[in-house]
């Protein structure tokens, strides 16, 4: 990506996709009447709304738009629409529903009134009046239409939905950005095509079949992108999101939906910018070097040390799993220098096995039995391996203590790898030898 800011915001976002049934007209009208009656009887003052808003600092307010929201919506200047606002006379009779205006496709709120209505929704008194199974949710952007006098009028849609979602983004197996096909109702428009897993497809088919004629809201991070009518049962789990501004927005949404199943968000610990060509070449070269280096080491060990070499390869794989497990437990960030440290660890782990195997060969050449050669080889090689690893650990600790950024990542990974390699090379392989010779002595050793 060429836009570093867009990339940063996209990486830090974990999208919450929800499919939620829209409440029917009767339920919507009942809650509006209930809110109007309660607010007329006990009006909420400006002091009440300000105090609640500041104390709770709700994250779902339209008034406070963070950097991530700016990635997905273009925020228009609300001050240019101050002409269109709800009059005090209307609010006196309908203190809540007066803000809602009937527009094509549903209800909306004038841009100048959005923050006012949101303050009401954030108030504790209003929250207690809304049924537990319902929730008011805003649309994803301001919509502009032409007013009667020719001026541009901006409003934001508002929906009354079920509290619980029917499906979430966890069932989405793939999300792709496309342009609507010719002849469809979204011809030429940016869309996102979703594919669900077997469980999601089954639930979606059952839900759509039971709610034909009702609206279902497609909600991304508590903002409604569209609320289409369910025309028929939808089998196969294939669904489409439309109503997007452009293909870039569709691509961003598709990307975050594919990663939306991650259990934790991504935090930017370090940021470096390189050209797209250089970055691509570096990733490709690093991947190839790691693959061929690892494969070459495995083949060499089997070729040169035969069966014992295969045993060393097994301990090598276990070493990699141990290193990754410890890094995960420590919640460490695996950077490119950290990957280099991991590759160096692989070489050092094999080096320990090479020292042990050469010692065993020397003992076998002296005429010792296999068991005696193995015992002597490990005992004699252990001091050499320990000395070599301790000196490397000292250097790694100094790098981790003094260095920062890439240097620290390299040092941490290397330190963990050295400790893991000592365990796998010295103890794991010897334990396997002991297991093979437990029932009957090993007469011939493949080494």
Q: If DSSP codes are grouped into helix, strand and coil, which group holds residue 380?
A: helix
Q: Look up tokens 């992108």; give the residue.
A: 225
- Say what the pTM is: 0.50
Distance CA 415, CA 425 (A): 15
Q: State the pLDDT at residue 263.
A: 52
The listed range with the strongest mean pLDDT (5-14, 218-227, 272-281) is: 218-227
Question: CA 34, CA 36: separation in Å to the nearest integer?
Answer: 6
pLDDT band with cut points at 50, 70 and 90 for residue 222:
confident
Question: 212 pLDDT exceeds 60?
Answer: yes
List, for residues 15-25, the tens digit of each pLDDT value. Answer: 677 889 999 98
Q: How far is CA 26 from CA 22, 23, 226, 261, 402, in A?
A: 12, 8, 21, 35, 67
Average per-residue pLDDT for the chain:
78
CATH architecture entry for 276-436? Up-down Bundle (1.20)
Alpha carbon distances (Å) from 109 to 10, 53, 76, 86, 139: 29, 20, 14, 9, 10
Q: What residue spans in the chain does CATH classification 1.20.1640.10 cover?
A: 276-436
- pLDDT band for 73, please (50, 70, 90 cuts): very low
Topology of the domain comprising 4-258: Gyrase A; domain 2 (3.30.1360)
Chain centroid, CA 43 distance in Å: 43
- Tokens 């991947």 correspond to what residue? 287
Separation of alpha carbons 35 and 39, rounded Å: 6
Question: Both tokens of residue 199?
Answer: 């469980």
């Amino acid at each position: 990506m060429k836009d570093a800011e867009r990339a940063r915001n996209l990486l830090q976002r974990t999208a919450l996709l929800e499919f939620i049934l829209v409440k029917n007209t009767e339920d919507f009208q009942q809650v509006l009447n209930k809110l109007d009656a309660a607010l007329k009887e006990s009006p909420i003052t400006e002091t009440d709304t300000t105090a609640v808003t500041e104390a709770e600092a709700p994250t779902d307010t339209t008034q406070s738009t963070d950097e991530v929201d700016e990635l997905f919506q273009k925020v228009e200047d609300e001050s240019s629409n101050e002409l269109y606002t709800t009059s005090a006379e209307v609010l006196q009779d309908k203190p809540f529903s007066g803000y809602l205006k009937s527009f094509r496709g549903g209800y909306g709120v004038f841009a100048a009134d959005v923050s006012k209505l949101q303050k009401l929704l954030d108030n504790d008194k209003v929250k207690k009046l809304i049924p537990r199974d319902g929730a008011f949710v805003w649309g994803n952007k301001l919509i502009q239409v032409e007013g009667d006098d020719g001026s541009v009028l901006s409003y934001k849609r508002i929906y009354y939905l079920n509290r619980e979602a029917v499906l979430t983004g966890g069932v989405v197996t793939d999300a792709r950005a496309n342009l609507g096909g010719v002849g469809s109702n979204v011809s030429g428009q940016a869309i996102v095509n979703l594919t669900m897993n077997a469980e999601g497809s089954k639930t979606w088919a059952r839900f759509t079949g039971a709610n034909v004629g009702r609206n279902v809201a497609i909600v991304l991070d508590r903002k409604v992108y569209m609320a289409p009518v369910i025309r028929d049962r939808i089998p196969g789990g294939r669904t489409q999101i439309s109503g997007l501004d452009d293909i870039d927005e569709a691509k961003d949404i598709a990307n975050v939906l594919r990663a939306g199943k991650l259990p934790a968000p991504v935090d930017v610990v370090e940021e470096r910018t390189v050209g797209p060509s250089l970055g691509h070449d570096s990733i490709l070269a690093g991947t190839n070097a790691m693959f061929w280096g690892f494969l070459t080491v495995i083949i060499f060990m089997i070729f040169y040390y035969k069966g014992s070499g295969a045993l060393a390869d097994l301990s090598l794989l276990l070493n990699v799993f141990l290193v990754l497990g410890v890094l995960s437990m420590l919640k460490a960030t695996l950077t490119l220098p950290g990957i280099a440290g991991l590759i160096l660890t692989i070489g050092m782990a094999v080096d320990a096995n090479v020292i042990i195997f050469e010692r065993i060969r020397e003992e076998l050449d002296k005429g010792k039995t296999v068991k005696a050669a193995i015992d002597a080889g490990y005992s004699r090689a252990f001091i050499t391996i320990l000395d070599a690893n301790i000196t490397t650990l000292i250097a790694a600790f100094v790098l981790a203590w003094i260095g920062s950024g890439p240097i620290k990542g390299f040092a941490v990974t290397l330190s963990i790898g050295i400790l893991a390699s000592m365990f796998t090379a010295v103890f794991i392989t010897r334990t396997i030898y002991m297991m093979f010779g437990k029932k009957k002595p090993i007469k011939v050793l493949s080494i």
